[in-house]
Amino acid sequence: ANDILPFVVENLATYAQGTSREELAAAREHFGFFGASYGSYLNNNCILGHCLDLVSYFGFAGGGRMSYDRLLGLWEEYGHESLPINCLYIAIGGYDDRYPPEISYYNLKADTERFNDENLYYSLLSGIHHEPREWLNGLYNSLQLFFR
């Protein structure tokens, strides 16, 4: 929020008109974040919880447990409880031995007001371990959903 996103806006063509939090938030419909392996943990526990006002597309692959109750608490704390999530994509390799993200998927799917078949996706990647193929598949699939 304070370093990476402003750096991207300053150095690449984006829809943001500037780097203040308000200017970044005004362009949230055009920002996505993907995390793989430990990056999925950071996505779940930092970006999705704390920066929902800046990003509306999220993807992760290779583990990372998402606590729905914790997310709700963070969204309420930061005043983000009414902000929509355009897409949340969760991927896991069939042989990945990290915390199974399908549990997170089913917990989120229970919130039918925020999540539905149009913005919540889960993929089990057959025959793949916790490895770069898992992460690249997750990133590729996320981008297809983010930027249709």
What's the rounded Cα separation, in Å, for the pair 13 and 66?
Answer: 32
Q: What percent of the chain stands above pLDDT 90?
A: 61
What's the rounded Cα separation, in Å, for the pair 85 and 117?
Answer: 12
Q: pTM score, two decimals?
A: 0.91
- Other residues' Cβ atoms within 10 Å of the Cβ of residue 144: 10
Q: What percent of the chain stands above pLDDT 70?
A: 97
Per-residue pLDDT of 87-102, as tens digits, reads 999 998 988 887 666 7
What's the rounded Cα separation, in Å, for the pair 99 and 116?
Answer: 23
pLDDT band at 104 (very low <50, low <70, confident <90, very high): confident
Query: How far is CA 33 from its chain centroid?
Result: 5
Tell me the two tokens of residue 127: 């025959």
